[in-house]
Amino acid sequence: KGTLTGHSSLVLSVAFSPDGKTLASGSSDKTVKLWDLSGGTPVEKGTLKGHSEAVSSVAWNHDGSLLASGSYDGTVRLWTPDGQEKGTLRGHSAAVNSVAFSPDSKYVASGSGAFGRSDNSVRIWEVATGKEVCSLRGHSGSVFSVAFSPD
């Protein structure tokens, strides 16, 4: 129970780690914050910096060993639970609105698009290499949500 205060602007996305002990929050202040929920009172345990625009989406992989953050700067960043950046995925020409890991954590999907900018794509990235393996185009507007089927 409690209110988590720490971001200096709007919070756009939150995600619980699979074990429920950590919450990630992405904000218009261009940061991701990690919150320790294992005790009686939530405690901020780190601020992840690297995006140059608002962080629109955060998602954990299946075992909580990686966090993905998508940003209006057009990138996806991968982080360890202790806040170390593991890589930056570049290729979108507009804001990244949503990120999601595949059930086996081998891939990250990102959805993009912004008013006046015509990326409007879903891209699939291989986590191990950071390489784009597929681009799904043809959307007539921005892609605001991505998800993998559980199977």
Write down the pTM of the prediction. Answer: 0.94
| Chain segment 5-62, per-residue pLDDT in tens | 888 899 999 999 999 999 999 999 999 999 999 988 889 999 999 999 999 999 999 9
What number is the average pLDDT over the span 128-142?
92
| Chain segment 89-116, per-residue pLDDT in tens | 999 989 999 999 999 999 999 999 986 6
For 68-104, b where at least 16 C-beta lie within 10 A, e where not — what string? bbbbbbbbbbbbebeeeeebebebbebbbbbbbbbee
**Contact (CB, 8 A) for 116 and 110:** no
pLDDT at position 1 is 61
